[in-house]
Amino acid sequence: MKNTFLTSSTRRSPLLEALSLKGSKSKNSLLRKDLAIALPLTSLIDAFSIIVIYLLIGTQNSGVESELSGNLKLPQATHSQAVEKKFAVLRIEQGTYFLNDQVVPKKLLTEKLSELKRNTMEQNKKQNITQDIELMVQADTEMKYADLDPLLRAGSQAGIEKLKFAVVPRP
Amino acid sequence: MSNKELNFEINILPILDILSVLICFLLLTAVWIQISTIDTKQAIGDNSLSNGKNPPSLWVTLESDGAIQLSLRDLPKTTQAKVRLESRLAKTGKGIDWTALESKLSDLKKNIPELKTGIVHPGAQSAYGDVIKIMDQLKQNQIEGVGLSPLG
C-alpha cells in the first residue's frame, strides 16, 4: 500500500477505543468500523455544559430585564430588593422627567401620575388584583435632590405611596 | 491522486473544545447589569397629619455643609432618658462621615430595638447618591420603614 498522509497520520486513539466499546483491536479495524459508529460524545457534552452554565447564570439573574439609559449611573446599595415584575418607570435625566420613556413637563407631573394611577387601578380591577400602584424611579447618582423633590410632591398628590428607587446591588 | 487519499477527516474535537472554553469565558466575564430597588412608602395626602400615635422615628437631616443631624422623635418616655435625642455628625474631608453614621445607627438600634421608622430629610443640593446610601444604611440596621421628606 502506498504511504499516504492518511495512513501515516493515523494513530491509535484511546478515546476512540473507549467510545467504540470494543476495546483495543487492530489498527485497521478501528479505522474502518469504529470511526463510523462512534458517537461524538465529547461535542455533545460540551454543548450540554455550555447550556448548563448559561442556565445557571440566567437563573441567578432572575430579575426582570429593565432598560436603562446609557447616561444614567445608578447609585449602589447593599440592602436592596430584586425586581420581580414590571413597573411604571419614571426616569430623571438632567432635570427632565420621562414617564415610561415619554417626556413629562414638571408642571404636568401630578396630572400624568394621577392618570397612570387611574389606568393601573382600572386594569387591576379587571384582573381582580388589589395591589396598589408602584413607581420605579431611575436617576443618576450625582443628581441633586432638588430635581427629585417635584416627583415626591407630585407622587404624594397623585396618591402614589410606594416608590422604588432603582439601584445597582453592591456585591 | 485517488479518492481514498483525499478523503480524510479534520479533527474538530479540539476546535470544539476551544470554542466551548471561549464561550464559557465570555459568559462568565460578561457584565450582567442587574437592577434592584430600595423601597419606600411615602406619606400621601394628609396621612402625615393624622392624630394617631406615631411610632418612634429617626429623622436624618442632611445639612448644606455636609454634616448630618440625627433626631429621635415620638420615643416612649422610658426610652427618652436612655439616649440622646439629637446628635450631629460633622463632615469629613471626603464628605459625609459614613463610618460614624454607621456606628451611630448601630448604637441607636441596639438601644432602641422598637425603632423601625426612618425619615431622610435632604437639602436641595444633597446628592441623590448620598440620599440612597443613607436609606441603605438605615435598612441595613433593620430600620425598614424608610421615607423621604420633601424640601421645605
Cβ-based neighbours of A14, under 8 Å, separated by 6 or more: none
Among A27-36, A73-82, B6-15, which stretch is predicted with the lowest mean pLDDT?
A: A27-36
Closest CA relative to residue A166, chosen from B119, B33, B118:
B33
> Mean pLDDT over all residues of chain B?
82
Q: Helix A145-158 crosses helix A109-126 at what angle (to 10 degrees)?
A: 50
A contact test, residue of B11, B27, B37, B148 with most A CBs within 10 A:
B37
pLDDT, tens only, B60-108? 999 888 899 999 888 888 777 777 888 888 888 888 889 999 999 999 8
The burial class, CB within 10 Å (0-12 / 13-18 / 19+), for B139 is buried
Q: Do A141 and B127 touch (CB under 8 A)?
A: yes
Nearest beta carbon to residue A167 from set B20, B28, B38? B38
Query: pLDDT tier at B135 (50, 70, 90 boundaries)?
Result: very high
pLDDT at position A6 over 80: no
A79 reaches B (C-beta below 8 A) = yes
pLDDT, tens only, B26-49? 777 665 667 889 998 887 655 555
A145 reaches B (C-beta below 8 A) = yes
Cβ-based neighbours of A165, under 8 Å, separated by 6 or more: A75, A136, A137, A139, B37, B38, B39, B40, B132, B135
Cα separation, B139 vs B106, whole angstroms: 11
Q: Do B35 and A160 touch (CB under 8 A)?
A: no
Q: Do A163 and B42 touch (CB under 8 A)?
A: yes
pLDDT at position A124 over 80: yes
B contact test, residue of A7, A144, A145 with most B CBs within 10 A:
A145
pLDDT at position B128 over 90: yes
Q: Do B8 and A5 touch (CB under 8 A)?
A: yes
> Mean pLDDT over all residues of chain A?
76
Helix (H, G, I), strand (E, B) or coil at A124: helix
Number of alpha helices (DSSP H) and beta strands (DSSP E) in chain A: 7, 7
Distance of residue B56 Cα from the nearest chain A Cα, in angstroms:
20
Closest CA relative to residue B72, chosen from B20, B111, B124, B29:
B111
DSSP string, B89-124: E--BTTBS-HHHHHHHHHHHHHH-TT--EEEEE--T
Cα separation, A155 vs A158, whole angstroms: 5
Q: Do A164 and B37 touch (CB under 8 A)?
A: yes
Q: What is the mean pLDDT of residues A47-76?
A: 69
A87/A146: higher pLDDT: A146
Closest CA relative to residue B12, chosen from A46, A53, A54, A27:
A46
Cα separation, A48 vs A61, whole angstroms: 20
A162/B3: higher pLDDT: A162
Residue B110 has which C-alpha cell? 441596639
Q: Do A156 and B150 touch (CB under 8 A)?
A: yes
ipTM rounded to 2 decimals: 0.75
